[in-house]
Structure 1
Amino acid sequence: MRHENRPPSPRRSRLTRRGRLALFLGTVLGLGAALLIPLFPGERAPEKPRPLLIPEGWRAAQVYAAIDRELKLPAGSAKAAVASTALPLPAEAKGNPEGYLFPATYPVTSQSTPASLLTYMVETANKSLATKAVADGGKAHGMTPYQTATLASIIEAEAETRGDMGKVARVVHNRLAKSMPLQMDSTINYALNRSTVDTKLSETKIDSPFNTYERQGLPPTPIDSPGLQAMAAAVAPTPGDWLFFVTVKQGDTRFSATYEEHKRHVAEFNRLRAASRAA
């Protein structure tokens, strides 16, 4: 986040039937753990899946591109598949899977399609949001699962470390409680389809539903794919009265309850950044 008068803050595998039979015979006959099962003539070895890694914080566009690359499909194939796939999204999403392409490592085989992978990701996001801690915590804060995903996406984008996630969540909750605009640069970056630590004053005035400087409340959709830790932080923020934060240097994010304190931290950020540029 930033303020109008400061620069932005930087940032079990499952046994097959044959496998089960092998394990059963090994136990009954006392053959131990190792038992080789020869293939029948003409039978092919099982296909070994390839891993597709989706990191925390990726936007939908990045996930689509990764799927296209892994499946060796023309660019835009995964994105186009969204419209023709009945993804298990909440009604609030209006068919947009942003925030629900859960970050994890997915198995890819010759049978994989964009639709199958996207569905797997959305189902995984739904399961994560339905875990007891996340679901109960969201309800306690009066949030729907979709709102939890949206808030978690901001936390994923703004927190420099996992240890900061709970504090960033608290800043958002405190600002919402005071009807203050969130003023998060991450939402501006999403509106402008970019990733940067530099946000100009003029950019905080753009006409966009993702401009959390001009509009109060959460943005209309998530802005990236949050992980389970960000989801947990969204519904169980660290106790505190903070309203501001700025990453002064790598590994050093300062949280403030007053604007005066925040300005001192910003001044230090500016000094360190100027010195770095001069060097």
Structure 2
Amino acid sequence: MPREYRLPSQRRTRLTRRGRLALLFAAIAAVAAAVMVTLLPGEEAPETPRRLLIPEGWRAPQVYAAIDRELKLPPGSTKAAVATAALPLPAEAKGNPEGFLFPATYPVTSKTTPGELLTYMVRTANGKLATPAVANGGRTQGMTPYQTATLASIIEAEADTRAEMGKVARVVHNRLAKSMPLQMDSTLNYALNRSTVDVTLGDTRIDHPFNTYERQGLPPTPIDSPGLAAMAAAVAPTPGDWLFFVTVKPGDTRFSATYEEHKRHVAEFNRNRAAAGRAQAGPRAG
């Protein structure tokens, strides 16, 4: 019967007194060195980054002003930095970062520069436009990433809720397919550097590249910073035959396939606005 083979017994290595003292002194030296590194003269604790929030729908001038404030720079510093920042923008942008200053929360320290922050924002936007859902959807719709950003910026400005974004996108796609002017108030507001629902007949007749009442197709550039939800809606619109929409009152946006139906909704919008104006004015002495 074969005998069981056993490994030779190993004796535990025992440190001599001199060895124990050497280890003790080495440990003390390591702790002392760590304390010395921590307390070296002139050394400062790592700076905790601050947070800069860029909301969805902000225009480039709003982003520039927010960066100037956060970095404690003179007004106009960030806007001036665009020319030298070598931002990774698509060629269609022609150096204009509108639509590519992605809305998010960004870390900022005392060493952050406007160029670095703008580059971070543009790279983030490029990354979102390159996500499979957005990129593949854009190719299916025959749109470049820049066109996707432009359409998404309109959706961001026009939709009251995320649930409405797909329907707003469908209206835009349907109008483009029929060679109809988009007739978006948001693009007029961008042209006039304002934000209002009070668009007049005279406004719709101005000679301006962003007047989508007079000019067909998408505007020449995005009109704000769209988020990922708006980008996704731009390339995957909700199925429907709508050509018009109007927000009759907060939380109540009506989408219509015919102009007659749309006119009824606009009339209701006007009645609601008139009633709200009378309520704000209060009772008049008579």
- TM-score class, shorter-chain normalisation, is 0.7 to 0.9
1:156 aligned onto 2:165:
no
Instruction: Find the aligned partners of 2:78 and 2:244 in 1 and give their Cα distance.
Output: 38
Aligned residue number for residue 4 of structure 1: none
> What TM-score do the two structures reach when normalised by structure 2?
0.83
Instruction: Find the aligned partners of 1:59 and 1:270 in 2 and give their Cα distance.
Output: 28
Superposed, 1:258-277 pairs within 5 Å as 258-277=258-277
AA partner of residue 74 (structure 1): P
* Residues 38-90 of structure 1: per-residue CA shift (max 9 Å, x gap): 87222532210000000000000000000000011110000000001100000
Aligned residue number for residue 210 of structure 1: 210
Instruction: Find the aligned partners of 1:122 and 1:275 in 2 and give their Cα distance.
Output: 44
AA partner of residue 107 (structure 2): P
Instruction: Find the aligned partners of 1:67 and 1:180 in 2 and give their Cα distance.
Output: 38
Q: CA deviation at 1:276?
A: 1.2
Instruction: Find the aligned partners of 2:194 and 2:248 in 1 and give their Cα distance.
Output: 22
Helix, strand or coil for the counterpart of 2:82?
helix
* Residues 92-140 of structure 1: per-residue CA shift (max 9 Å, x gap): 0000000000000000011100000000000000000000000000000
Instruction: Find the aligned partners of 1:40 and 1:84 in 2 and give their Cα distance.
Output: 38
Of structures 1 and 2, the larger Rg is shown by 2
1:41 aligned onto 2:39:
yes
Instruction: Find the aligned partners of 1:243 and 1:77 in 2 and give their Cα distance.
Output: 42
Instruction: Find the aligned partners of 1:271 and 1:210 in 2 and give their Cα distance.
Output: 29
AA partner of residue 242 (structure 1): W
Instruction: Find the aligned partners of 1:278 and 1:269 in 2 and give their Cα distance.
Output: 14
Helix, strand or coil for the counterpart of 1:201?
coil
Aligned residue number for residue 171 of structure 1: 171
* Residues 159-205 of structure 1: per-residue CA shift (max 9 Å, x gap): 01111000000000000000000000000000001111100101101
Instruction: Find the aligned partners of 1:205 and 1:273 in 2 and give their Cα distance.
Output: 23
AA partner of residue 234 (structure 1): A
* Residues 234-260 of structure 1: per-residue CA shift (max 9 Å, x gap): 000000000000000000000000011
Instruction: Find the aligned partners of 1:192 and 1:108 in 2 and give their Cα distance.
Output: 32
Instruction: Find the aligned partners of 1:41 and 1:77 in 2 and give their Cα distance.
Output: 37
Instruction: Find the aligned partners of 2:272 and 2:110 in 1 and give their Cα distance.
Output: 51
AA partner of residue 151 (structure 1): L
Aligned residue number for residue 124 of structure 1: 124
Aligned residue number for residue 82 of structure 2: 82
Helix, strand or coil for the counterpart of 2:115?
helix
Instruction: Find the aligned partners of 1:105 and 1:263 in 2 and give their Cα distance.
Output: 41
Instruction: Find the aligned partners of 2:45 and 2:75 in 1 and give their Cα distance.
Output: 32
Instruction: Find the aligned partners of 1:90 and 1:169 in 2 and give their Cα distance.
Output: 23
AA partner of residue 272 (structure 1): N
1:111 aligned onto 2:108:
no
How many pairs align? 243
Aligned residue number for residue 197 of structure 2: 197
Aligned residue number for residue 278 of structure 1: 278
RCO comparison, higher one (Cα < 8 Å, 6+):
1
Extract unaligned runs of 5+ from structure 1: 1-36
Aligned residue number for residue 145 of structure 1: 145
Aligned residue number for residue 63 of structure 1: 63
Q: Quick check: 41-50 or 51-60, which moved more? A: 41-50
AA partner of residue 139 (structure 2): K
Helix, strand or coil for the counterpart of 2:255?
strand
Q: CA deviation at 1:273?
A: 1.2
AA partner of residue 180 (structure 2): M
Instruction: Find the aligned partners of 1:274 and 1:109 in 2 and give their Cα distance.
Output: 49
Q: Among the aligned pairs, what percent are the same residue?
A: 82
Instruction: Find the aligned partners of 1:272 and 1:198 in 2 and give their Cα distance.
Output: 14
AA partner of residue 264 (structure 1): R
